[in-house]
Amino acid sequence: MATTTNTGGMGTATERRTVAGVYNAPADAERALNGLKAAGFAPEQVSVVAKDTGATRDLAERTDMGAEGTATGAATGGVLGGIAGFLVGISALVIPGIGPIVGGGILLSTLAGAGIGAASGGLVGALVDAGLPEADARAYETHVGQGRILLTVHAATDAQAREAQRILGDTHGTDVRGYGYAA
């Protein structure tokens, strides 16, 4: 059974509406990504972070959630080529304590663009910037380090955030939490 909570309140204009969830199985993450796409979420709203493995590359390809073109991996210098799709900016970075990660969306774009992917706590910092409390951000970083897949959704409205939280919970996401909006 998925754990689903909302730790937000009414929030303020400066807070972000973010929903985060963890997936043990790539097939469940695939269902979540496809559900978000079907529900009308834009590529810029969805982020995926996972350890850099063949399974995560396959996930991007199977869900049409990769970005066009190629991305050079800071960890291995490898190329994720020919992935066309939904997420913005497939990137590969090294996070100390986790190792090589791969993913797409605003979280990875922020890490890659700011050059903080190689800095200690880079993923935690990106999650905190997205509106998560530091303790929760560290817990999600631990999940990624243990080989799980982290999905985050940046919602434009409270209703959209609730829909994202429902989709993540319905697709076997664990530790599904919402931040910055009314439940």
The tens digit of pLDDT for each residue in 100-137 reads 666 667 776 666 665 554 444 578 888 888 899 999 99
In a domain, 78, yes or no: yes
Query: Which residues of the chain, if any, have pLDDT below 50?
Result: 1-2, 9-14, 56, 60, 63-85, 117-120
* Greatest distance between any 2 Cα atoms in the chain: 44
For the record, the structure tokens of 112 come out as 């890659």
- Structural domain of 124: 14-178
In a domain, 59, yes or no: yes
Q: Which residues pair with 176 in a beta bridge?
A: 4
Q: What's the confidence (pLDDT) of residue 35?
A: 92
Q: What's the confidence (pLDDT) of residue 147?
A: 87
Q: Which of 33, 128, 138, 43 is nearest to 95 (CA)?
A: 138
In a domain, 4, yes or no: no
Structural element, H or E, at residue 47: strand 46-51
In a domain, 1, yes or no: no
**What does pTM read for this prediction?**
0.74
In a domain, 49, yes or no: yes
In a domain, 84, yes or no: yes
CA angle in degrees (0–180, nearest 5) for 155-93-34: 40
In a domain, 82, yes or no: yes
CA 23 – CA 174 distance, rounded (Å): 6
**Rounded to the nearest 10 degrees, what angle do helices 158-170 and 26-38 cross at?**
150
Q: What's the confidence (pLDDT) of residue 8?
A: 56
Domain tally for the chain? 1
